[in-house]
């Protein structure tokens, strides 16, 4: 994989999820078919799982007819002309980060002129104390190493009818520019990171966001709903083996308070089977929206609790 791509991915993930680690420490280790973000915990043998194969998942997006489509986020992103799909990313991490898609613009000499990395951060499970896309961009700005130059301080911009947090910076030494835009979708921060040396190509790619669609047909998204008095009946999962991994789980609860769908972001197979069997027996107080029972999506964590990092200066 081109060094430019590895460096750009490394910088974004290091700053967001480690913050105290400088991006200049080196590029990420990589494997065939994907890139492992530095600073992320990807447990060997732990993989995503779900209670059914029909409900859309964040990791299920794909390129179809020149567009990146992701039914979970209701995202349709027209791929810019002459851009090509790159290697698949890693599975979801146990802090809820996804590499959804990578695209690159390559010249005749096979040099990468520009690159776009589409990611999502599940805000239920973030290793950082951030609640939305704006706070995530602010964390990126706060953790940026002094060797980078700010081209535009974080602000907000309307694109395709949605509010995006925006940030731009560059490396004069490497000749690289970063344009980062992030928006809130279904309790995730969906982020487009444009990186490259060709600023004209980056401008064109960024303008291409005006043609995206982000309209998920989704239940209400409520943090912490699977707790306290909202839980009427529960069966705790009992694991046959003790493992020290964090198991983030998203559930969709129907109008009657029954568990409709279960998505484990990162778990061993035996853990997935046990948790799904237990959660199917949970019963919740129906969630009310405008006085009427409605579906709700929320998150909970099994296994070892996630350690929350501190933001710089706090």
CATH architecture of 220-303: 2-Layer Sandwich (3.30)
What phi and psi values does residue 138 have, to the nearest 5 degrees?
-65, -40
Tokens (6 digits) for 184:
């809130």
Q: How far does Cα 41 stand from its chain's mean position?
A: 14
Intrachain domains 3-214 and 220-303 with the same fold:
no
Tokens (6 digits) for 305:
């609790």
DSSP E strands in 160-254: the ranges are: 162-171, 176-185, 188-196, 213-214, 220-221, 231-233, 246-253
Let me know: does 90 contact 99? Beta carbons within 8 Å: yes
Mapped onto helix, strand or coil, the DSSP state of residue 296 is strand
> What is the pairing mode between strands 283-284 and 62-64?
unpaired
Tokens (6 digits) for 314:
């706090």
Q: Tell me how far apart the alpha carbons of residues 35 and 166 are, in angstroms, rounded to a whole number.
A: 25
Q: How far does Cα 125 stand from its chain's mean position?
A: 10
What DSSP state is assigned to residue 258? Answer: B
Among the listed residues 277, 183, 267, the one whose alpha carbon sits nearest the alpha carbon of residue 236 = 277
What pTM, to 2 d.p., does this model score? 0.86
The topology under which CATH files domain 3-214 is: Protein Transport Mog1p; Chain A (3.40.1000)
Domain layout of the chain by residue ranges:
3-214, 220-303
Burial 89-128 (b: 16+ CB within 10 A, else e): bbbbbbbbbbbbbbbbbbeeeeebbbbbbbbbbbbbbbbb
Q: Tell me how far apart the alpha carbons of residues 77 and 66 are, in angstroms, rounded to a whole number.
A: 9
Let me know: does 39 contact 124? Beta carbons within 8 Å: no
Q: Describe the chain by its helix, strand, coil percentages, rounded to 5.
A: 20, 40, 40
Let me know: does 194 contact 104? Beta carbons within 8 Å: no
Let me know: does 66 contact 79? Beta carbons within 8 Å: yes
Q: What is the mean pLDDT of each run of 10 residues along the chain (314 residues)?
A: 41 36 29 45 80 97 95 95 91 96 90 93 95 97 95 97 97 95 98 95 92 92 97 95 93 98 97 97 97 97 84 64
**CA dist 127 → 93, 118, 175, 266 (Å):** 10, 19, 31, 15
């Amino acid at each position: 994989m081109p060094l430019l791509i590895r460096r750009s991915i490394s910088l974004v993930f290091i700053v967001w999820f480690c913050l105290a680690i400088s991006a200049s420490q080196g590029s990420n280790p990589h494997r065939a078919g994907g890139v492992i973000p530095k600073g992320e915990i990807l447990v060997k043998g732990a993989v995503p799982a779900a209670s059914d194969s029909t409900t859309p998942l964040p990791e299920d997006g794909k390129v179809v007819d020149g567009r990146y489509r992701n039914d979970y986020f209701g995202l349709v992103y027209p791929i810019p002309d002459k851009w090509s799909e790159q290697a698949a990313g890693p599975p979801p991490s146990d802090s809820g980060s996804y590499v959804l898609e990578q695209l690159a613009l390559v010249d005749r000499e096979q040099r990468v002129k520009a690159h776009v990395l589409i990611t999502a951060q599940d805000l239920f499970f973030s290793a950082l104390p951030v609640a939305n896309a704006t706070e995530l961009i602010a964390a990126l700005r706060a953790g940026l190493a002094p060797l980078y130059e700010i081209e535009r301080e974080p602000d907000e911009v309307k694109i395709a009818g949605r509010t995006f947090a925006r940030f731009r910076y560059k490396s004069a030494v490497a000749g690289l520019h970063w344009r980062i835009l992030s928006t809130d979708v279904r309790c995730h921060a969906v982020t487009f990171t444009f990186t490259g040396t060709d600023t004209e190509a980056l401008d064109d790619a960024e303008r291409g966001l005006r043609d995206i669609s982000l309209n998920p047909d989704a239940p209400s998204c409520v943090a912490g709903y699977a707790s306290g008095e909202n839980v009427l009946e529960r069966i705790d999962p009992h694991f046959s083996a003790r493992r020290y991994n964090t198991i983030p789980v998203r559930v969709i609860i129907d109008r009657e308070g029954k568990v409709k769908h279960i998505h484990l972001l990162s778990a061993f197979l035996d853990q997935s089977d046990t948790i799904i069997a237990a959660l199917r027996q949970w019963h919740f107080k129906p969630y009310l929206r405008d006085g009427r029972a409605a579906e709700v999506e929320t998150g909970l964590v099994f296994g070892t609790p996630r350690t929350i990092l501190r933001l710089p200066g706090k």
